[in-house]
Amino acid sequence: MVSAYSLIVIGGGIVGLSVGLRALDHGLSVRIVAKDAVEASTSALSAGMIAPAMEALTEADPRLSYARYIEAQKHWPSFAEDLGLSEILELAQPAVWLWSGDNGPSPDEMMQRFTDMGAKGQVMREEDLAKLGYHAPFQAIEIVGEWLMAAEPVLSYMKSVFVERGGQWIESEAAQVTPQSVTLSDGQRLEAGHVVVCAGFDSAAFAEAVPSLAALKPIKGHLLDQAQKADPALAGRMIRSPWGYWVFLDGLAKFGATMQTGKADYEVEPGVVTSLSEKAAKFMPDSVGGLADAVPRVGVRAATPDSWPMIGRDVSGVYVATGMRRNGWIYGPFAADVLMAQIGGQGAPEGSEAYDPQRFTPH
Ligand SMILES: Cc1cc2nc3c(=O)[nH]c(=O)nc-3n(C[C@H](O)[C@H](O)[C@H](O)COP(=O)(O)OP(=O)(O)OC[C@H]3O[C@@H](n4cnc5c(N)ncnc54)[C@H](O)[C@@H]3O)c2cc1C
């Protein structure tokens, strides 16, 4: 029997799990259909940064990007509290922007770029930077309010909470979708009050039935996973630079990432790994101990023609939340709140008009 209050979510990455958990909070009965285990999603391999300022700095319009990322990030604290994850946000270390002072901008010029966006932070003193293992000619700025999640364990935890709270996790491939049903690849048909597609770039496979999804383009990304000895000074830090970023989690350092527009395959490319390793070596702290055992990982991001996510109701009546590009962790809880407001017929959260999927299907 179809319940008007039931929801099927296709996809179990950060976006699908956020939507699934929020929908349970709203009293809906929820099924997540995911073709891969949580650990195999792009969300799980990602660096897990929820870092509006660091992300916006290198965008075409940093002020606009920062404003939108901050608006989305505001949905994290209540979401994290509901999951018992608040401490990760409260104890977060400031994010570091690091660059070489040789031929680079002055610290004041660099700080101004962050201040112009609205971000708060300070130029790091030489002795504080030395504690992280960096010395002249490196310069750095610390920005507060940027968060880091241990992506894979946090996602696994979110899945376990989803199931504990009565959500149903179906590990299967969705083959077809309508506004009120999902047909699995084995032919089984599931019905629901509403359907949401949160399948990352694979959402594009549903473009025939859900036209806005035809706008999606892939961006492949390589990242290096490197086991490391815990260094308390680096624990929970993200250190970003013009060459890429290091993030330091419990026992694992990650260096990323490439942005390979138009590629949707999961092959590890040796030439790309070499180039990424060279960039990583430019500011690798001693505690990482080299890259000989680094494990290259590949994920595929979903992007849209205007670079902004699509979150909302497609012309078909199917809901979508995808196109998060390199910001799925920033947007997960925001996307969930936008969809819950739309499905429940309430006012949409501030700023959500910019993400209407129907901007890609003009009448
Ligand atoms: C190297 C790298 C580093 C990144 N670092 C960050 C970062 O630090 N911060 C940040 O915010 N973002 C980061 N990103 C981007 C982020 O990973 C994505 O924006 C995010 O993963 C998108 O989440 P998602 O839930 O939409 O999709 P995904 O994580 O791709 O999940 C898709 C889900 O859909 C399921 N699925 C697909 N097709 C079907 C189907 N037909 N039937 C059933 N299930 C299906 C999959 O099994 C999976 O569960 C990074 C990306 C890469 C590649």
Cα separation of 331 and 324, whole Å? 7
Ligand 1, atom nearest to 220 Cα: 53
Residues 261 and 282 in one domain: yes
Rounding to the nearest 10 degrees, give the CA dihedral for residues 279, 284, 288, 294.
0
Claim to verify: residue 212 and residue 324 sit in the same structural domain: yes
Task: Please check whether residues 158 and 285 belong to one and the same domain.
Answer: no
State in Å: Cα 14 to ligand 1 middle: 7
Sorted by sequence, the CB contacts under 8 Å of residue 277 that are 6+ apart come out as 224, 291, 294
Instruction: Give the model confidence (pLDDT) of 193-210 as tens digits.
Output: 999 999 999 999 999 999
- Which residue puts its alpha carbon closest to atom 17 of ligand 1? 43
Any domain includes 53: no
- How does the average pLDDT of the chain come out, rounded? 95
What CATH number does residue 354 fall under? 3.50.50.60
Asked whether residue 264 carries a pLDDT value surpassing 60, the answer given is: yes
pLDDT at 353 over 60: yes
Is residue 92 one of the residues assigned to a domain? no
Ligand 1 atom 27: the closest Cα is on which residue? Answer: 200
Domain total of the chain: 2
Q: Is 15 in the pocket of ligand 1 (CB under 6 A)?
A: yes
Would you place residue 3 in the very low, low, confident or very high pLDDT band (cuts 50, 70, 90)?
Answer: low
Q: Pick the last residue of a domain from 280, 303, 326.
A: 303
pLDDT 10s digits, 95-141:
999 999 888 899 999 999 999 999 999 999 999 999 999 999 999 99
Q: Distance (Å, rounded) from C-alpha 163 to C-alpha 160? A: 5
Task: Provide the residue count of the chain.
Answer: 363
**Confidence check: pLDDT of 344 > 70:** yes
pLDDT in tens, 52-75: 999 999 999 999 999 999 999 999
Averaged pLDDT, 186-191? 95
Which atom of ligand 1 is closest in space to residue 324's alpha carbon?
Answer: 19
Q: Is 6 helix (H, G, I), strand (E, B) or coil?
A: strand
Q: Are residues 297 and 309 in the same domain?
A: no
The answer on 252 and 189 residing in a single domain is no
Q: Does residue 313 carry a pLDDT above 80?
A: yes
- Amino acid of residue 75: H
Both 179 and 288 in a single domain?
no
63 assigned to some structural domain:
no
- 284, 303, 322: which is the final residue of a domain? 303
Lowest mean pLDDT among 86-90, 167-171, 335-339: 86-90
Q: How far is the CA of 348 from the centre of ligand 1 (A)?
A: 24
Mean pLDDT of all residues in 184-191:
96
Question: Whose C-alpha lies nearest to ligand 1, atom 37?
Answer: 199
pLDDT at 232: 85
CATH of the domain at 287: 3.30.9.10
Mean pLDDT over 290-316 rounds to 96
Quick check: is 121 in a domain?
no
Residues 210 and 245 in one domain: no
Q: Rounded mean pLDDT of 176-187?
A: 97
The closest alpha carbon to 305, from 322, 323, 288, belongs to 323
Do 299 and 329 lie in one domain? The reply is no
User: Which domain does 325 fall in, by range?
Assistant: 6-45+151-216+305-360
Evaluate whether 147 touches 51 at the Cβ level (below 8 Å): yes
Please say which residue of 260, 285, 303 terminates a domain: 303
| % of the chain exceeding 90 in pLDDT | 89
The Å distance, Cα 318 to ligand 1 centre, comes to 20
The verdict on residue 50 lying in a domain is no
pLDDT reported for residue 103: 82
Ligand 1 atom closest to the Cα of residue 326 is: 15
Residue 29 pLDDT: 96
Residues 14 and 28 in one domain: yes
Q: Of the residues 36, 43, 252, which should be mutated to test ligand 1's pocket, given the most ligand atoms within 8 Å of the CB? A: 43
Ligand 1: nearest atom to the Cα of 223:
1
pLDDT of residue 107: 95
Q: Is the pLDDT at 1 greater than 60, yes or no?
A: no
Is residue 320 domain-resident? Answer: yes
Grade residue 167 by pLDDT with cuts at 50, 70 and 90: very high
Per the domain annotation, does 67 fall within a domain? Answer: no
pLDDT number for residue 4: 58
Q: Print burial letters for 217-234: b (CB count within 10 Å at least 16), e (below 16).
A: bbbbbbbbbbebeebeeb
Q: Is the dihedral of CA 279, 251, 98, 92 positive or negative?
A: positive
What integer pLDDT is reported at residue 250 of this predicted model? 82
- Please tell me what DSSP assigns to residue 145: S
Neighbours of 265 (CB within 10 A): 11
The whole-model pTM stands at 0.97
309 and 207 together in one domain: yes
Report which of 95, 11, 59 is spatially closest to residue 259, judged by C-alpha positions.
59
For residue range 220-247, what is the model confidence (pLDDT) as tens digits?
Answer: 999 999 988 878 889 999 999 999 999 9
- Note the pLDDT tens digit of each residue in 275-292: 999 999 999 988 888 898
Mutation probe of ligand 1 site: the residue of 88, 324, 325, 334 with most atoms within 8 A of C-beta:
324
pLDDT at res. 239 = 97
Claim to verify: residue 311 and residue 208 sit in the same structural domain = yes
CA distances from 225 to 58, 185, 187, 228, 252 (A): 23, 33, 38, 10, 7
Pairing of strands 95-100, 138-143: antiparallel
Say yes or no: CB of residue 7 within 6 Å of ligand 1: no
For ligand 1, say whether the CB of 238 is within 6 Å of any of its atoms. Answer: no
pLDDT over 90 at 351, yes or no? no
What was the pLDDT predicted at 287? Answer: 82
Same domain membership, residue 310 and residue 205: yes
Say yes or no to pLDDT of 147 above 60.
Answer: yes
Quickly state the pLDDT bin for 2 (edges 50, 70, 90): low
Tell me whether residue 142 is in a domain.
no
